[in-house]
Structures are given as structure tokens and as C-alpha cells.
Chain A
């Protein structure tokens, strides 16, 4: 079973920051937090991952709480093309256990 809890759906206005929460209260010390997204009818796409520190790349920022029990994925300026299912996953290695994710809908 997935070790993460995410809201099933969220809305965000185009151009605004989208903040997607994830709870992983049972995370182990060697487990990373990964975020992937899946646009309708496509394969999943890697977004970002982190262990303890906050991370940023060209797609998003990942904020991990100090106790590592939760995290937030931030899409700084959401566009309509960011509408997708976003998956938060914790894993120490290659085996990714996926939950149902959050369906993010960006509205014009």
C-alpha cells in the first residue's frame, strides 16, 4: 500500500501558484519523496524528488517539513497544461508504490 495521503482533487486558477500537499507520516530515514504527474492518456512524468532539504528545478519546488512527515509541491505559475494527476511517492530505491494521487485542474 502507498505510504502517502493526498487530497483526491484540487482546483487552481491559471497563473497562480498551485500548492499540492502530501502526508507521509510513516516515512523512514532513508526514504526519498518523489513527485510524478500524469497527463490524461500519457505515461507518468517525473517532476522532482528530495530527501530532507527543499528542492527546486525548472518545473517545480518541493518543500519538505523538518520532521519529514509531510511535503508540498509548488507549481509557481500554473498553466492549463499543468492539469494532470499528481502523485506523491516515498521510497528508498527503485520500487515506487503509487497511490491514487491528486487530480489538479487548472481553470482559466
Chain B
């Protein structure tokens, strides 16, 4: 079946601009996660949704970052006033639930470059 998809695959923007990154999770998965990965490092947790609500947004670095999941399926990560330090690969994952045995399925990521 279809896995997690993310669009765009690459995004180049200028400092100060606004960007939106989209994630389509696996159908039926109630949990959705966003991570950020810098070169040579492991993914860094940003936010987790259970259904439509953000159950844990403790990983968002500051108030320029915001994410929504209005219908409990597709999610959008929004970054305002982008900075060069925001350049990274943004990964989305989904799982059936949030129990310890629920593996997270990852998308291919969106590579964001802020010039």
C-alpha cells in the first residue's frame, strides 16, 4: 500500500520567507509526527498529533514553527520568517497509535534550504 508521502521533496527559499511543508500519512494512522534532521545527526522530534490535535509540541524550536492537522489526516508544517538555521530535512512519520509497539513509518522527507 501507499506509504507516507511528503511534498515538496525539495524547497529552496530566501531568508524571511514563509514556507509550508505537507505530509500525507498512511491511511488510517491516527498518530502523526514531525521531525527535523540536520546533516550527520539523527532526527529531532518537533511535534506529535493524535487525530486532529497536537498532543505534544514540545519540540518546536520557537513560535515561528506551527503545524496543523485539521481533518486528522494530512498535516502541514508552517515556518514563518525563515532563517538560514532552519535549513534541514523535515521528516514526517505516522503510526497506528502511540503505544510502544506501534512502529513509526517515515516519509522520504522535505529538504529545506534557506538562502
Q: A-side interface residues toward B, CB under 8 Å? A: 2, 32, 41-46, 49, 51, 87, 91-101
Contact = CB atoms under 8 A, between A and B. Distances in A.
Interface of B: 4, 31, 33, 40-45, 48, 56, 91, 93, 95, 98-109
B91 A94 contact: no
Contact of A43 (B4, B42, B95): B4
B42 A101 contact: yes
Contacts of B101: 49
B48 A43 contact: no
Given A93-B100, A94-B48, A96-B104, A44 B41 contact: no
A46 B105 contact: yes
Contacts of A101: 42
